[in-house]
């Protein structure tokens, strides 16, 4: 289990480091919102899921997409705006999608996927399917009215859904305490009568707690479940750089998170040979994905008229 979790954590970290490296060359055609530092939540949650379970992710999409088993070549090609990308090069980093692997389309519009996810979960329930839905969103999404409407509907209809709020403390540059009269997000879900839990970014603990909720839903129990997971974004809101000089947060705030880096923690639990094997295999995978993106063509002009309503 440790090796499997490490492989996923390492893959996400290294893909995003490569994205950050390539970004200044302008080969990547869309803005990128990196999850470096936040990988643990995506991994702890997605490792508890089956391939046919469904996740809804946000524009900070890479970690969830990779953790759920999204196609890496299609992801990098999408960032490059190539026709072989997951949205044929028309969506970019904020609109990753891989339906075959249970990853519904991400959206740049904060909060929208919360409503999408309960629609999907309602469908799962009506069709009496055995798969479940996980909806990831940020603390900023809980500033939106759609959050409350969706919590109410999910609780009312007892939907087979697990809500995962990745609380990194900021919506762009504004700290939670400056936006929310009551910054206790889990408490806001609790008013709808659903079970809530506050977690950190300890991967194994996350995995255990999410697995328990998953087992309840699989065995015919009712949802929804709500998890608020504290985490921390190391890079700027959007882009490949750090922003500790931007004036809204200090590096000292990030340091404790960096010291308890889950990627490093898992690396240290493996024997060096096993670790090396995992890393080498993942590095090859990543190199192949970037090569695939480089060598893929841009969409033909006619693609502009494809997939539009009018
Ligand atoms: C409906 C809507 N309002 C505002 C924005 C501008 N916006 C983009 S990202 C963001 C912050 C969202 O923060 P959070 O949900 O905590 O996610 P994080 O970026 O921290 O992962 C905002 C307000 C938007 N994209 N959509
Ligand atoms: Mg946030």
Can you give the CATH number for the domain in which 131 is found? 3.40.50.970
- Within 13 A of 48's CA, how many CA atoms are on the CB side? 26
Asked whether residue 296 is domain-assigned, the answer is no
| 18-36 per-position pLDDT tens digit | 999 999 999 999 999 999 9
Going by CA atoms, what residue is nearest to atom 7 of ligand 1?
A: 110
Contact 198, 228 (CB under 8 A): yes
Over 90: is that where the pLDDT of 285 sits?
Answer: yes
Asked whether residue 304 is domain-assigned, the answer is no
Nearest CA to 201 out of 54, 70, 48, 43 is that of 43
Q: Which of 106, 142, 171, 183 is the pocket-test mutation for ligand 1 (most atoms within 8 Å of CB)?
A: 171
Indicate the pTM of the whole model: 0.98
Asked whether residue 247 is domain-assigned, the answer is yes
Query: From ligand 2's centre to the CA of 138, what distance in Å?
Result: 5
Asked whether residue 303 is domain-assigned, the answer is no
Q: Which of 140, 167, 177 is the pocket-test mutation for ligand 1 (most atoms within 8 Å of CB)?
A: 140
**What pLDDT score does 310 carry?**
82
Asked whether residue 55 is domain-assigned, the answer is yes
Residue 15, domain extent: 2-290
* Ligand 1 atom at minimum distance from 108 CA: 25
Domains of the chain: total: 1
| 202-219 per-position pLDDT tens digit | 999 999 999 999 999 999
What residues sit around ligand 2, an ion, with C-beta below 5 angstroms?
Answer: 138-140, 168, 170
* Ligand 1 atom at minimum distance from 141 CA: 15
């Amino acid at each position: 289990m440790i090796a499997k979790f490490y492989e996923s954590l390492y893959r996400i970290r290294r893909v995003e480091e490569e994205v950050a490296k390539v970004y200044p060359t302008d080969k990547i055609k869309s803005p990128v919102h990196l999850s470096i530092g936040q990988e643990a939540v995506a991994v702890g949650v997605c490792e508890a899921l089956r391939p046919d379970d469904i996740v809804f992710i946000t524009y900070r999409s890479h970690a969830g997409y990779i953790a759920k088993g999204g196609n890496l070549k299609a992801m990098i090609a999408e960032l490059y705006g190539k026709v072989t990308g997951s949205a044929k090069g028309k969506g970019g980093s904020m609109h990753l999608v891989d339906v075959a692997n249970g990853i519904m389309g991400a959206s740049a519009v904060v909060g929208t996927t919360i409503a999408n996810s309960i629609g999907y979960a309602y469908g799962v329930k009506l069709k009496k399917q055995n798969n479940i839905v996980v909806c990831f969103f940020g603390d900023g999404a809980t500033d939106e009215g759609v959050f409350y409407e969706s919590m109410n509907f999910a609780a009312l209809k007892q939907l087979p859904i697990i809500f995962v709020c990745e609380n990194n403390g900021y919506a762009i540059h504004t700290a939670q305490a400056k936006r929310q009269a009551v910054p206790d997000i889990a408490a806001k879900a609790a008013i709808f009568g659903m079970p809530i839990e506050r977690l950190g970014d300890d991967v194994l603990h996350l995995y255990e707690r999410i697995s328990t909720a998953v087992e309840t839903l699989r065995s015919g129990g009712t949802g929804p479940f709500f998890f608020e997971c504290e985490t921390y974004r190391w890079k700027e809101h959007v882009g490949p750089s750090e922003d500790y000089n931007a004036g809204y947060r200090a590096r000292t705030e990030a340091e404790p998170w960096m010291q308890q880096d889950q990627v490093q923690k898992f690396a240290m639990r493996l024997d060096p040979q096993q670790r090396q094997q995992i890393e080498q295999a993942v590095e090859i995978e990543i190199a192949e994905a970037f090569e695939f993106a480089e060598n893929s063509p841009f969409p033909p002009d006619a693609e502009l008229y494809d997939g539009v309503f009018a």
